Chain A
Amino acid sequence: MRKAVLAFSFTALVTLSSFLLSGEKIVPPSVAGFSMSLCKTGHGGEAHSGDLYMNGNKIGNVIALNRASQRIKAKYFAYKDNGTVVHDRYVNWRSGKNIVLISSGAYGTTFSGTDKPVGLTMDNGNDVNLNLDPKMDGLIIVEAVGGIRASNIQDGDLTYKEGGADKTVNIKDYYQRNAFLSWCRTEKATTFQTHLLIYKNQLKFKQSGGNVAERKLLVLTKDASGNVFHFIIYSKEQQFTLYDMAYYTLQMFTGYGHQVIAAANLDTGGVDILATSTELYDCSNGAIEGKTNNARNTMTNMLAYYYE
């Protein structure tokens, strides 16, 4: 017993000292910003991958998908279907497809076995969660043609095409929301709610603060020629508050001459999955991976990109 207590005390002291000596890893926002290096190209030259840097130090990965030719398409699995878990749905679906990447998507309501998506969610035209979460201002629509649209719920101007014409609704109004849901069912659309971090090139925060964690963002941008890009920005090796992550991301894209259409937060909590095709590795030829890639069967939802 004495030996065990002594051994524990020694281990704890060593761990404590190593933490104290390791220093603070969080860099304050005023020090520097993000930059990226896209060194790998694949999927017909329309997908790129590489490293994300903070003040010159590698802190994660970037994947850039050019949607100009619309050959890179998005697919979202919002929830399990008739008991088939999301990963199994994906495995059945991917047959014959040229997969670019997969990532965990939005948040779940509770832990593990009873995990269900938070906020308004439709999957391929099927109702998943009709309870709009007023705390999350972003509504993402994944179109059947592979595009992604982001809308700020607070603006009340969600636009979709119905019968060839644009229809604008305020989904905070139940009547208009149900018209939109009816359209989702008819068009087999997929939609989900998340926190909108950047919208129309503006940060969606009033103040900084909050928990720090590894962050993964889905960023939709437009270059000077009007081409739409989808980026996955993943800070696997450094933790940020959501505000700082959004701030640096906006700063980086502004510096590269891109307009940020929208940036949404993807889950990096208990389910942090990210995997790319063998064409898209990091700049040291290492695989780009999430922290919990071995727990894919626990995914509540999944964002996948494929090339065709």
Chain B
Amino acid sequence: MSELIKVTIRTPIRLAFFVVCSMFAASTLCAQSARPDNPKIKGLSWNFYQPVQLPFIDSLRNQIKGSVTSPDEFLYGSFSSQLDLTPLDIHSTDTLLRYVMTAEACKNARNYLQPEQAILFEAMGDKMLSKLADTLQAGIELKTFDPTNSDIAYLIRRLADNHYLINIKISNAQKTLGYLREGRFGYVFHKLTTTYKAEFMKFLGVLTLLALLFFFRKRIARFIKNALSSKK
């Protein structure tokens, strides 16, 4: 069994067919296509740093047309599985830029292809850009990436230009500062007396105590002094 697994996952493309065939387990044609010695699929691998050529995809489509119900979905499955197994080198800006440009080229397919022809390319570009966005977002949340770093900031900007928005969470303190800057004092007071009532009460209590200590500092000092001298 373990030998079988080794054979099955020897190359990403074989794994891709394994996944796709699991999805279409009832399909004999698919099972035949997935045999590693099938010349139609031998050597198929995807390059994520160079735009996919349309004649290449068309040739693949034609080759597998009779074997699978949806050639485009089948090809996408192969692409997707290989991408899942490929880690992004987030520290190499040049490599990442080539990756983004490849994804953008895929996404632009809808500008010159019919919608049904373009879906495969769009899905490829979508998956690539989403993977980058998810990687950056996870890194920012785990504080392994600094969103203010110029390279990371540029990638975030580039993703935003492609309509992939990273959800950078900001703290309540930052939000409050923003509201105060906008002059929305009423709203800040409302939040402090409702949603953050408990925290505000604690803060107010500490502040009051400090203010009273400050105001009565001389009397307190005198009281302590008297207490100490009376003990003596």
Residue B19 at the chain A interface, CB threshold 8 Å: no
Any A CB within 8 A of the CB of B133: yes
What residues of chain B have their CB less than 8 Å away from a CB belonging to chain A?
72-73, 76-77, 80, 110, 115-116, 118-120, 122-123, 126-127, 129-130, 133, 159-160, 162-168, 170, 174-175, 178-179, 182, 184, 187, 190, 193-195, 197, 201, 204-205, 207-208, 211-212, 214-215
A212 CA to B167 CA in the complex, in Å?
A: 22
CB distance from B53 to the nearest CB of A (A): 20
CB-CB nearest in chain A for B196: A211
Contact of A174 among B127, B159, B166, B207 (CB under 8 A): B127
A212 to B195, CA, bound (A): 6
Counting CB contacts under 8 A, is A181 at the interface? yes
Known: A178-B119, A178-B122, A182-B110. A291 touches B208 (CB 8 A): no
Q: Is A9 a contact partner of B215 (Cβ separation < 8 A)? A: yes
A129 and B164 within 8 A (CB)? yes
User: What separation, in Å, do the CA atoms of A174 and B76 have in the docked complex?
Assistant: 9
Contact: A111 with B170, CB < 8 Å?
yes
- Which A residues form the contact surface with B (CB < 8 A)? 2, 5-6, 8-9, 12-13, 15-16, 19, 109-112, 116-118, 127-133, 174-175, 177-179, 181-182, 185-186, 211-214, 239, 270, 291-292, 295, 298
26 residue pairs from A and B, CB less than 8 Å apart: A5-B214, A9-B208, A15-B204, A19-B193, A19-B201, A110-B168, A111-B170, A118-B167, A127-B163, A128-B163, A130-B163, A131-B130, A131-B166, A132-B130, A133-B167, A175-B76, A175-B119, A175-B120, A175-B123, A177-B123, A178-B123, A178-B126, A182-B115, A211-B195, A214-B194, A292-B184
Residues from chain B with a CB closer than 8 A to the CB of A174 are: 76, 80, 123, 126-127, 130
Given contacts A19-B201, A177-B126, A131 and B165 within 8 Å (CB-CB): yes
Taking a contact as CB atoms under 8 Å apart, the answer to whether B211 and A8 are in contact is yes
A292 touching B214 in the complex, CB below 8 Å, given contacts A111-B178, A178-B119, A182-B122? no
In whole angstroms, how far apart are the Cα atoms of A129 and B165 in the complex?
6
Given A6-B215, A130-B126, A182-B119, A12 and B195 contact (CB-CB distance below 8 Å): no
Bound-state CA distance A174–B195 (Å) is: 39
User: Among A12, A174, A239, which residue has the most Cβ atoms of chain B within 10 A?
Assistant: A174
Other-chain residue from B129, B179, B208 in contact with A16 (beta carbon distance below 8 A)? B208
Contact A239 B166 (CB under 8 A): no
Determine whether the beta carbon of A109 is less than 8 Å from that of B123.
no
